Structure 1
């Protein structure tokens, strides 16, 4: 028996070493992303400014159609079909091109982007090994305390990002921000939140741990991607508005914000992610209620974690309702989406650390 415990502790220690190793590789990916953003794709920057800059028109030109002479003989004039300019749903601006950071290309620095993605993939593999090793060491689902939840949460975030890339989605722009926050999350988990491997009370050692908490991890990871889209939307929208009004943003803002997708693309990305995740978050709360009845003899007891889970659900329901019925798009929707994700963060960190909750059964 003691030998088995020693083996489990050795696996737990090895899992921690793997997590630290993943951080080292993520750090290399971070450096590669920085190099890409500093030196790459400069030839493609300033396309947004070109699209929004007012075009000078000749006082003799016709407003609807351009007339040019036939190529030979100067005979019959040829009417060219006027270009149709659609309006973006966010901000009412013309549809704008996404920046080079959205998908990468052949410009200088793209090699560093590929290196960064390769390093992120390697770090993800080590990261996943850390999660699996932790699961083997505790012989249960590896997300029963804040350390394990954080370790798994950041792994799912990276996995979702890599999955979108494999599916040929233009999400290269997420790379630098994602790697930065994953490093912060793993650092906090390893230094502040680390918990020795231990077993759960028998009442909570249930199949619902795999269902309820795994859903919470996946939903939180995807909602994080959505809120990144909302935050970047606010910056990009301000940049486009300044250009449209004839302003001149600073060189740093131009260099960074030009590489992002257009504001309309970011707005759409955030909405699609939040709308897709919402039904699963709803089921997460239902699964938690079923587990609570099995473990504590009641479906709902107004525990702090239950209350804030419902507040998060209400915030995202309000976000989706406002977009569908009131027509809130753009800045209002982005701000509401950010507030909704802040309730999720408080539910995770605030309730666990500061509230007296039944969900604190395994400490942090």
Structure 2
């Protein structure tokens, strides 16, 4: 069996499916603009939070004291606007469910592509930039599906599927290299430890960064008093800020271990722990940015906008280290054949 061929086929298919999921979530957000949302109620399909009484209430369904149902004491307008809002709420849920189902299908295809690539290579599929990219997309989507199952945060679906479609798309069109044996420097158990930790921490950094971007959008709307449509479906900005912090705080110790494991691996491969190679240097820059983020939140009380900006800068640094260094700068870590 030609594992490499079927791996590529599965990954190309995942790009198409992720793109379809992204369009479904885009339609979900577009339909949400016509839903009338009570100030105290958030639709769990996108917000993933509970009403004040502890019971999640979809748009147009009564929450505590009847709030949230059109035409009741909750304050929703009666008549034609009520019907339009209820119809839009149904479309929001339908598009959201389609988006999630397509995301799961794309995830299964992506996992199959990574596994088949590993079988074709006869090793862990992390030996070059192409393989690390497709594996990183698996970890990112897995993180999203985990938080979706645990907390119902479907509002992350649009940016995550966009990222997955672009990531796998770049992998199969720009970063692709044929199956080849590992270079001698990669023959170490630290190869597995370093890459796995980098992929997991990178997935958490990406979810935290996406949440920080959405925080800024939601916060700006709140400041201007224009929270409506799909923005009204998101949790309040302070909750999004807390979600971003939790993911970044989870990822930082793993990234610290990734840098340390990389130094141990470097000593095994090249006879020195640290050589200021461009990849090593930028990994340290990324670590410093996230250290500043956590330090500023815990000591200076930086929350909200300032913390979100630092988190987004950290994510940009992570992606530059992930792609930019490999494409623009030559070094011991740069993947060949791109």
TM-score range, shorter chain: 0.7 to 0.9
Q: CA deviation at 1:39?
A: 2.2
| Residues 226 and 273, structure 1, Cα contact 8 Å, conserved in 2 | yes
In structure 1, the residue matched to 2:269 is 295
Aligned match of 2:5 in 13, 23, 35?
13
**What value does the CA root-mean-square deviation take over the aligned residues?**
1.8
List per-residue Cα deviations over 1:192-217 (Å, max 9, x = no partner): 11111111122322221111011111
In 2, Cα distance between equivalents of 1:266 and 1:361:
36
> Counterparts of 2:131 and 2:254 in 1: how far apart (Å)?
21
Q: Deviations over 1:301-357 (max 9, x none)?
A: 111111111111110000000000000001000001111111111111111111121
Q: Is the 8 A contact 2:32 2:233 kept in 1?
A: no
The SS at the match of 2:319 is: helix
Give the C-alpha shift of residue 151 in structure 1. Answer: 0.7
Measured in 2, the distance between the counterparts of 1:231 and 1:98 equals 20
Q: How does 1:201-280 map to 2 (within 5 A)?
A: 201-243=183-225, 249=226, 254-280=228-254
Runs of 4+ in 1 over 4 A off after TM superposition: 96-100
Q: Do residues 137 (structure 1) and 120 (structure 2) align?
A: yes
Matches of residues 278-289 of structure 1 in structure 2 within 5 Å? 278-289=252-263
Give 2:325's aligned residue: 351
TM-score (normalizing by structure 1): 0.78
**Does the residue aligned with 2:252 lie in a helix, a strand or coil?**
helix
Is contact 1:157-1:222 (8 Å) kept?
Answer: yes
Structure 1: stretches of 5+ with no match in the other structure:
1-6, 49-95, 244-248
SS at match of 2:298: helix
What TM-score does the superposition give when structure 2 sets the normalisation length? 0.84
Identify unmatched segments of 5+ residues in structure 2.
Answer: 49-56, 60-88
How many residue pairs end up in the alignment? 299
Secondary structure of 2:108's counterpart equals helix
2:173 corresponds to: 191
Higher CA-based Rg: 1
SS of aligned partner of 1:258: helix
Aligned counterparts of 2:335 and 2:17: Cα–Cα separation in 1:
33
Q: State how far apart, in whole Å, the 1-side matches of 2:36 and 2:120 are.
A: 50
Task: Identify the match of residue 139 of structure 2 among 152, 156, 181.
Answer: 156
